[in-house]
């Protein structure tokens, strides 16, 4: 029996024993408010194993409700508490691109835990989406406060690169589809800008020419041609279905960020932090996962791809405001310096935070000569953060095994899928538009292509 299997069975046994004893409910449930107005929540099991999991939640739409969270889903939370882990997390003092507030709020939550509960023997940072980015930021800025980290579906390419990628897609869409009528940066009325973008997008989708140009805009942001996590991935040459899925990513998820939520970032940064000066869009497209799709759709639509790429390359470029670029660099880009184990997890069909983020993070970690601390795992599924509780638990147990043994396991997808499946049908589910559906474990070997808009501590 492998060490991984033994450890997983030990945790499963602990879960059963504690549940039978009736103590799966947290013994302590602590809430409160931090000095900057953020709230926190802490849950400690009756039998604490000494490990604290500090959870960082994802992006909250500006102005929306912003409660403190200490776990991504209740099934995972219940399992972790039953296995003896304590949970903690804060709300962040603001909504939107709250990296500046989130990192100190999470450290303050650690301080509260230590004063009210005690000093953990082990502290592991974990989080989803923007919270995955914050998780990587916590261990970069406060490495001595943590023993390991699990950034999930994180913006681990860093803020500048991710928003530059969004700018490229918006720039192409505005130039080739919207006729320059949209505000790509310096957005003054995000609601009107968003509504106009959605209207133009829907109209373009009605023609083959519009579909081809939408595909080009999507390709510059490396959007996958797979949208529904409960559906099979389209075949590599089913370009029509791929484009229809990219349209769904744009209309349902990405256009709000491109043409509305950017305004919140610009407000907090004091200007526009994104740029496309010096970008060769013909070269960028040639490196995209969607290159073959765009070529095929342009041919089918009777359009000249080279002409559109020339139009993009000759369109007036956008420069970043220096102070705003500095702000976004601070909140945050990565220097790759690790001194603790970090395991990342990403779905391969993520259209909000493309899986190529993982390649960017590995690049900067390797450039810092700290690659031995980092491992990556991938789940073959569409969706942003579309992990089952079983996959999340398995990833955490893999990281715990690294701490216990002092070395990485081989992260075999076969072994990880077996461990996730062994947790049972209750944990092997995902949310599909508000409905829980069964989902077989889907860890796989995967190598992302290069992130198109690298911007880290080594590339400034």
β 122-128/86-90 pair status: unpaired
State the pLDDT at residue 22: 35
pLDDT greater than 80 at residue 7: no
Q: Which of 239, 32, 358, 401 is nearest to 247 (CA)?
A: 239
* Side-chain-side CA neighbours of residue 42 (13 Å): 22
119 and 193 part of one domain: no
Query: Structurally, how many domains does the chain consist of?
Result: 2
- Please indicate, yes or no, if residue 451 is contained in any of the structural domains: no
Q: For the chain, give the mean pLDDT.
A: 94
147 and 169 part of one domain: no
State the pLDDT at residue 23: 38
DSSP 8-class letter at 371:
G
List, in sequence order, the alpha helices (H) in 117-261.
Answer: 130-141, 159-176, 190-204, 208-220, 239-249, 255-256
- Please indicate, yes or no, if residue 458 is contained in any of the structural domains: no
pLDDT greater than 80 at residue 430: yes
Q: Choose one of 265, 299, 327: the last residue of a domain.
A: 327
199 and 305 part of one domain: yes
Q: Choose one of 285, 306, 327: the last residue of a domain.
A: 327
- Please indicate, yes or no, if residue 449 is contained in any of the structural domains: no
3-state helix, strand, coil in the chain (%, to 5): 45, 15, 40
Calpha distance 454→460 (Å, rounded): 10
Among 32-36, 377-381, 407-411, the least confident range: 407-411
- Please indicate, yes or no, if residue 18 is contained in any of the structural domains: yes
pTM value? 0.94
Calpha distance 426→75 (Å, rounded): 8
Query: Model confidence over 288-302: pLDDT tens digits?
Result: 999 999 999 999 999
- Give me the mean pLDDT over the 20-29 stretch: 57
218 and 241 part of one domain: yes
**CATH number of the structural domain spanning residue 341:** 3.40.50.1820
154 and 16 part of one domain: yes
pLDDT greater than 90 at residue 18: no
- Give me the mean pLDDT over the 75-79 stretch: 98
Containing domain of residue 228, as a range?
A: 160-327
- Please indicate, yes or no, if residue 202 is contained in any of the structural domains: yes
pLDDT greater than 90 at residue 11: no
- Please indicate, yes or no, if residue 10 is contained in any of the structural domains: yes
- Please indicate, yes or no, if residue 408 is contained in any of the structural domains: yes
Query: Model confidence over 221-254: pLDDT tens digits?
Result: 999 999 999 999 999 999 999 999 999 999 999 9
User: What confidence tier does 151 reach under pLDDT thresholds 50, 70, 90?
Assistant: very high
- Give me the mean pLDDT over the 48-59 stretch: 98
Calpha distance 281→273 (Å, rounded): 20
State the pLDDT at residue 433: 87
64 and 186 part of one domain: no
Query: Model confidence over 114-149: pLDDT tens digits?
Result: 999 999 999 999 999 999 999 999 999 999 999 999
């Amino acid at each position: 029996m492998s060490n991984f299997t033994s450890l997983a069975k030990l945790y499963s046994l602990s879960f059963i024993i504690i549940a039978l004893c009736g103590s799966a409910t947290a013994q302590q449930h602590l809430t409160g408010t931090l000095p900057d107005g953020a709230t926190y929540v802490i849950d400690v099991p009756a039998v604490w194993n000494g490990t604290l999991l500090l959870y960082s939640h994802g992006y909250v739409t500006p102005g929306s409700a912003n409660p403190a969270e200490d776990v991504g889903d209740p099934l995972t939370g219940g399992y972790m508490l039953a296995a003896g882990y304590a949970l903690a997390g804060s709300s962040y003092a603001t909504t939107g691109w709250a990296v500046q507030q989130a990192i100190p709020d999470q450290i303050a939550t650690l301080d509260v835990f230590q004063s009210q509960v005690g000093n953990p023997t082990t502290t592991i940072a974990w989080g989803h989406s923007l919270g995955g980015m914050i998780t990587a930021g916590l261990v970069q800025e406060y490495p001595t406060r943590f023993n390991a980290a699990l950034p999930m579906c994180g913006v681990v390419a860093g803020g500048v690169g991710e928003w530059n990628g969004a700018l490229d897609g918006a720039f192409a869409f505005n130039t080739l589809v919207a006729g320059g009528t949209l505000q790509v940066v310096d957005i003054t009325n995000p609601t009107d800008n968003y509504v106009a973008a959605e209207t133009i997008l829907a109209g373009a989708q009605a023609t083959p020419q519009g579909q081809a140009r939408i595909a080009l805009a999507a390709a510059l942001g490396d959007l996958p041609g797979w949208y529904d996590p409960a559906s099979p991935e389209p075949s590599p040459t089913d370009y029509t279905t791929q484009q229809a899925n990219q349209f769904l990513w744009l209309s349902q998820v990405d256009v709000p960020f491109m043409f509305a939520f950017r305004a919140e970032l610009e407000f907090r940064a004091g200007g526009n932090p994104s740029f496309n000066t010096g970008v060769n869009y013909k070269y960028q497209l040639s490196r995209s996962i969607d290159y073959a799709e765009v070529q095929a759709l342009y041919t089918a639509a009777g359009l000249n791809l080279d002409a559109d790429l020339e139009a993009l390359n000759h369109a007036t470029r956008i420069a970043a405001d220096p102070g705003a670029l500095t702000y976004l660099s601070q909140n945050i880009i990565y220097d790759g310096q690790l001194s603790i184990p970090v395991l990342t997890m990403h779905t391969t069909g993520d259209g909000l935070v493309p899986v190529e983020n993982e390649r960017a993070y590995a690049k900067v970690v390797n450039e810092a000569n700290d690659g031995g601390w980092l491992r990556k795992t991938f789940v073959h599924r569409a969706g942003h953060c579309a992990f089952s509780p079983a996959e999340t638990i398995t990833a955490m147990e893999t990281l715990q095994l690294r701490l216990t043994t002092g070395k990485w396991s081989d992260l075999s997808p076969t072994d990880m899928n077996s461990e996730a499946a062994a947790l049972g049908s209750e944990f092997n589910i995902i949310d599909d538009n508000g409905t829980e559906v069964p989902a077989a474990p889907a860890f796989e070997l995967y190598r992302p292509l290069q992130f198109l808009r690298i911007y880290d501590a080594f590339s400034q």
